[in-house]
Structure 1
Amino acid sequence: MISKKVKKLMLDQITMEFQAAHDYKGMEICFLNKGLDGFAHWFNKQSQEEIEHAYRFINFLNSVNESIDNLDKLDAANVKFTNIRDVFEASLKQEQMVTQSIWKIIEAAEKDKDYASRQMLDWFISEQVEEENSVQRILDALDLVGDEHIGIYELDKKLGKRED
């Protein structure tokens, strides 16, 4: 059985994961509007991953017989950004917020000796390292290409090849 605090944090995390998916859809639309289909594809995949993350929490709560009675409302997704870098900086900031939220759940689970929740959360530790690294590598690539159109074009092609 999980504590009320851990359950509340997990419910908040479900909302955060769905919000991230919604925000990534906005970022996808931003790139579709600019004709950058590879960038759009990358954010589409990112959005799908966030939904999968939400369902990891939903399925876990159901597996320990905890009902989900309510989720918070989502905020509007931004579809207008000044430049490509701003989109990925927003993405990195979002991933960092998710990481901090996961750490809070881990701390609460450890404090409450909730070993089942703690064990389930191990997967998210590795996932968040991968998520932040992935976005940071794109930011690094954007630093290298600057405003060079050919560099943006090549990066767009590369991101368009992202698989599940």
Structure 2
Amino acid sequence: MSEKILNALEEQINFEFESAYLYLGMSLKMDEANFTGFSHWLFQQYQEELDHAHQMIDYVQRRGHTIALKDIPAVAIETADPVKISRDVLEHEIKVSRAIDNILALARDAKDFATEKFMMEFVEEQVEEEESARNLVDSFSCASENLSAQMMIDNMLSAREEE
């Protein structure tokens, strides 16, 4: 594995931890606003991002390298508006997709087929993540100011199972 790819993977590992921290903050904010289903959904996202970071750490270590962790900045979640939070989730998932695509491109350019194969799992997962986030945005946007509709969506989100 080249130094360039190793550095990109380290950055991605840190970004996965940042993502987890972001989703945990969102989860706590939605819980405070009594959107416990959305809070649960966001907490599942938090756990998923931690899992991604651990998978990447394991991969880098199996390739014979060590990881240099970086600081994770504090995240201030300003609102408990489910429309705004769902839009932020979508925006963030698009950023994650771009970062993963960049690592895949580096791996292809370097003919690092092991890293290319490893990253394809994340590419495929990001398609699902963006779709899920778009569905959230659509659902909460349609519900808009209708609290009953928002609570119905919130209730449906509480059914999300651990992955």
Give aligned pairs, total: 162
What runs of 5+ residues in structure 1 fail to find an aligned partner? none
- Tell me the TM-score normalised to structure 2 length: 0.96
The yes-or-no answer on 1:140 pairing with 2:131 is no
- 2:10 counterpart SS class: helix
Q: Which moved more, 1:138-147 or 1:128-137?
A: 138-147
Change (3 A) 1:14 1:78: same
The yes-or-no answer on 1:83 pairing with 2:81 is yes
- Indicate if the aligned counterparts of 2:89 and 2:133 stay in contact, CA closer than 8 A: yes
Identity in percent = 28
Matched ranges for 1:14-163 at <5 A: 14-68=13-67, 70-81=68-79, 83-163=81-161
Residue-by-residue CA offset, 1:72-121 (whole Å, 9 max, x unaligned): 21111223216211111111111111111001101110111101000101
What runs of 5+ residues in structure 2 fail to find an aligned partner? none
Residue-by-residue CA offset, 1:105-143 (whole Å, 9 max, x unaligned): 011101111010001011011100001110100111112
Q: How far apart in 2 are the matches of 1:39 and 1:101?
A: 26
Q: How far apart in 2 are the matches of 1:54 and 1:40?
A: 21
Could you say what the CA RMSD is over the residues aligned between the two structures, in angstroms? 1.0
Q: Which amino acid aligns with 1:71?
A: L
- Indicate if the aligned counterparts of 2:97 and 2:126 stay in contact, CA closer than 8 A: yes
